[in-house]
Amino acid sequence: MSNYSLFILLAVAICAAVVIFEYVHNKHRRFHIEHLGAAVQEILSGKQDGQMLRKDFLKALRVHFHCSPKESLFLSGLARKKGLVHQDGQMVSLVGK
């Protein structure tokens, strides 16, 4: 094998290792309710009346947790289930405000 072939093979192996590591790391990601509560407080406390549009709330969750749209939707549902937020139509509001 030439040096060029070895270099290409090494580059492909490194790329495959990075992809596998990212997949395993994201698959075992856990979200804690304490962190979610703090994030929801931070996101909604700066808004007027503690309310914002659902799509903006999902985007803010996605940015805060560096996650996919599917995971941010899961986090929104978890926040509703745990009583952190209330959703009325397309508006999400902080519970207790």
The whole domain housing 63 covers: 33-94
CATH number for the domain that contains residue 87: 1.10.10
Q: Is residue 9 located within the same domain as residue 46? A: no
Q: Is residue 50 located within the same domain as residue 22? A: no
Q: Is residue 90 located within the same domain as residue 51? A: yes
Reported pTM: 0.69
CB distance 31 to 79 below 8 Å? no
Determine the Cα–Cα distance for residues 77 and 71; give it in Å rounded to an integer.
10
Taking the CA atoms of the chain, what radius of gyration do you get in angstroms?
20
Q: pLDDT for 24-54, tens place per residue? A: 877 767 778 888 889 999 998 877 778 899 9
CB burial of residue 93 (10 Å; 0-12, 13-18, 19+): middle
